[in-house]
Structure 1
């Protein structure tokens, strides 16, 4: 079983995503100033879901490394970025999966542009790559998965020919490496899983209630928790918690064995894409 097959159950049907539109306007201060039309709202919800999935697969990558004693050569943050990418990249044409993948890429460039406009200093010391670097690497992996179909993506980023060729190698290496280390831990067809992942939504403060409602209605947490729990021979029960953290963040806590999705991160995604749409 390869890493891409693991992520099959995370796909959302179009009608399910559109349920989120009923409450979308609640979570964003930018939307209070100007309504989005139906198409723009759909784009915003896909952006939220795509980035929620990317961040959670990233954090569950940390969880799998910790829980399954998976060796890591190189920076762990880069390694789990690669895992999130190969899981989310669709095996075959699928408009919603493709839109969510592009949303995950766009997030890094939009975040970088926002930081640049705010004159923030670049965190060269951080364990994560710089936002723009992560965006280019994610786009590179996506392009490398299907160069013929994704030429426009490479063109839009002005990737030179030699980089395009290496993107194919990067993708093949990421897929092969993760597939190999995960293989011993994959549940066989029909094999019952002995440990579960419980999803908990902690009560949000009033100022984050709308973001919390939006996160819950997308069903992203339940979908990914089920995906991971039914795919791997987990040695312990895990928890996926949505809570207020005081900052936009998502993280794996190895002591508590929990992945945390912060309501502030949901609000950040909503505001980021709304501001981008309204600025066009």
Structure 2
């Protein structure tokens, strides 16, 4: 790793952000060049080997459940899985899940503490077939020294959950004591617990829904809505048929009334004609009577 008073060269074998004092002296252009150079991915040899779905699924489920919860609350909480995190001059690391409160929620290539102006609030590691010492010993010391407020480890294979919180005014973790089988996260304002081999987050007694559960609920809601729509359409069809029948009856009644009016008009015309003929006959009779007399 090489550096000059106002520059920083990234060592590809050990990428690190510059010390804070050097970052503070850099121009915006120099800072941007550093951010553009910090790698957002790294060789498998530099990271833990892949552990398959047993490791991948829990962290994604945790991110999605928390993301949906905070979005519904209208709170800005940035969540990311395996995002490279750069503390000043410190070795890069990428927890399975990080949470940072009250910051802009957007896509990032990495989290640079100097650029963002703050560090990570919570880290979560999923232990499946990796080295337990890394998650349960090394990271406990390292994350505490970096000032990460809370750290949780979900050992899925052993179905164990452990939590650590910074002791006030120190850079050391204290274990979070379980309460009724759950660990409380002061950072998230939620409890963490296990359901079988699944990590769940709880608000009170209610588990935050995961994506597949939300989709299942949505499917049920859509099915119920479609059923209600079908019933409503059947009722509307029946109502339309009833109205059509009523309209037909009204049309028939109007036709009968028209026919009755026509017959009445015809009767009046015949009566008028008969009255006219009778008047004419009476006049003729009177004339003949006068002629005879």
TM-score by length of 1: 0.25
Comparing both structures, which one devotes a greater share of its residues to strand?
2
TM-score by length of 2: 0.24
Point out the structure with max Rg over C-alpha. 2
Comparing both structures, which one devotes a greater share of its residues to helix?
1
